[in-house]
């Protein structure tokens, strides 16, 4: 094996703190109080020092990682062994980092090795941002983007939300236009999902949400708009300028290894899945991760591969599982091709943007026919 063949795992660090709680969010996060940030950083340092792995991607997600401050992020990165070309991402919230008097220092992040920032824009229309509970306006997002760029970090990803209450194709265009003109290199665009146990779930009848057809139209409009502005779709919800795909997130979809540290962080290493429970107290008390069984099996591999524009690559599947995708599955994919949902070539099966819209049933149908 040459050095270039060597595969390194990714590292995910979950930071469970947020400046407030958005009414649609069911991620594990809360407003930090007392000494909790200090304790979290100390425990995370301890856990990071325990691993002797070397990583080629590090991703600080949350929650809102900037909530622990740039110096603490630097401190944590100081405990991580990563390759010289590693992709190092920090998720940031414009309400903390884009305020005029914000002390958050992107320069410190860059010096620590951070080379990618992912920012939760969601919408560039302030009335929509308010409905989503965002604590900042688009002006703060703009300011944060400028600060990131002047610190020398050029790889910026923006999250966009589709199907927001009262959103129209016109307001969506405003948001997409903002993304393009901001100089972002990567866009993630998700259709709002109303999760149980969130305020949005309880208010869902009163939210004036676009119906499924309109949300689908928004999705297809987004794929077209971003495609026309140089962003290639490489996953159901992810678009990038050439060469700016998220290397860390690609590991999840390609069933490659990663270690997760922090409450609610999941891992996949040596064929096993395991996770830290979503509970800060047990995390701080040093609780061991919980085993979640075998991972990376055929079904999971196909499900994840079909989320990607590169799709299910026959050669990779055969190499990994020592067998071919069944004729029945390929023939069914050809049938779906005639409906405009899938493309089938000698090398792969991949979903079209219309296929992505109904990915659950398309992928389910292919999986069913690939069973022994």
Q: By beta-carbon distance, which residue lies closest to ligand SF4?
A: 25
Phi, psi of 263 (to 5 degrees): -60, 135
Between β-strands 55-62 and 10-15, what pairing exists: parallel, antiparallel or unpaired? parallel
Burial of 270 (0-12, 13-18, 19+ CB in 10 A): exposed
Q: Are 169 and 217 spatial neighbours (Cβ–Cβ below 8 Å)?
A: yes
- d(CA 182, CA 41) in angstroms, rounded, equals 32
Residue 327 neighbours by CB under 8 Å, 6+ apart: none
| 21 lies in the binding site for ligand SF4 (CB under 6 A) | yes
Phi, psi of 83 (to 5 degrees): -70, 165
| 61 lies in the binding site for ligand SF4 (CB under 6 A) | no
**Interacting residue with ligand SF4 among 9, 32, 62, 289 (CB under 6 A):** 62
By rule CB under 6 A, what string of x and - marks binding of each residue 209-228 to ligand SF4?
Answer: --------------------
Q: Are 28 and 263 spatial neighbours (Cβ–Cβ below 8 Å)?
A: yes
By rule CB under 6 A, what string of x and - marks binding of each residue 76-115 to ligand SF4?
Answer: -----------------x----------------------
| 314 lies in the binding site for ligand SF4 (CB under 6 A) | no
Cβ closest to ligand SF4, residue 96 vs residue 257: 96
Q: Are 72 and 53 spatial neighbours (Cβ–Cβ below 8 Å)?
A: no
Q: Shortest gap between Cβ of 48 and ligand SF4 (angstroms)?
A: 22
Phi and psi based region of residue 68 (left: phi greater than 0; alpha: psi -120 to 50; beta: remaining): alpha
Q: Shortest gap between Cβ of 264 and ligand SF4 (angstroms)?
A: 11
Only one of the segments 14-22, 111-119, 149-157, 182-190 lies at the binding site for ligand SF4 (rule: CB under 6 A); that segment is: 14-22
**Interacting residue with ligand SF4 among 14, 29, 244, 249 (CB under 6 A):** 29
| 25 lies in the binding site for ligand SF4 (CB under 6 A) | yes
Contact residues: ligand SF4, CB under 6 A: 18, 21-22, 25, 27, 29, 62-64, 93, 120
């Amino acid at each position: 094996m040459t050095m270039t063949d060597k595969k390194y795992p990714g590292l995910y660090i979950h930071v469970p703190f947020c400046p407030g709680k958005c009414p649609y969010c069911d991620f594990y996060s809360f407003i930090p109080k007392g000494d909790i940030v200090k304790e979290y950083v100390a425990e995370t340092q301890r856990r990071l020092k325990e691993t002797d792995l070397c990583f080629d991607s590090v991703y600080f997600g949350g929650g809102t990682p900037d909530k622990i401050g740039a110096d603490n992020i630097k401190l944590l990165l100081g405990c991580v062994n990563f390759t010289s070309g590693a992709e190092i991402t920090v998720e940031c919230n414009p309400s903390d980092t884009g305020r005029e008097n914000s002390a958050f220092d992107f320069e410190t992040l860059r010096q620590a090795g951070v080379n990618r920032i992912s920012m939760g824009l969601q919408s560039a229309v302030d009335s929509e941002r308010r409905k989503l509970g965002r604590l900042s306006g688009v002006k703060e997002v703009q300011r944060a983007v400028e600060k990131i760029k002047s610190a020398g970090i050029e790889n910026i990803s923006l999250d966009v939300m589709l199907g927001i209450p009262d959103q129209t194709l016109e307001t969506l265009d405003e948001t997409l236009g903002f993304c393009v003109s901001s100089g972002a290199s990567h866009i993630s665009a998700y259709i709002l999902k109303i999760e149980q146990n969130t305020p949005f779930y309880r208010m869902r009848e009163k939210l004036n949400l676009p119906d499924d057809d309109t949300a689908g139209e928004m999705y297809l409009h987004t794929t077209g708009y971003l495609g026309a502005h140089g962003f290639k779709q490489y996953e159901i919800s992810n678009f990038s300028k050439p060469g700016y795909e998220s290397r860390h997130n690609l590991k999840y979809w390609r069933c490659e290894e990663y270690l997760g540290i922090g409450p609610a962080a999941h891992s996949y290493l040596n064929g096993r899945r395991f996770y830290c429970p979503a509970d800060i107290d047990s995390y701080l008390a040093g609780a061991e991760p919980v085993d979640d069984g075998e991972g990376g099996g055929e079904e999971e591999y196909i499900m994840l591969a079909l989320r990607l524009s590169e799709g299910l690559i026959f050669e990779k599947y055969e190499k990994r599982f020592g067998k071919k995708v069944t004729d029945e599955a390929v023939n069914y994919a050809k049938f779906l091709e005639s409906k405009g949902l899938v493309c089938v070539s000698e090398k792969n099966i991949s979903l079209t943007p219309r296929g992505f819209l109904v990915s659950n049933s398309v992928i389910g149908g292919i999986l069913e026919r690939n069973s022994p």
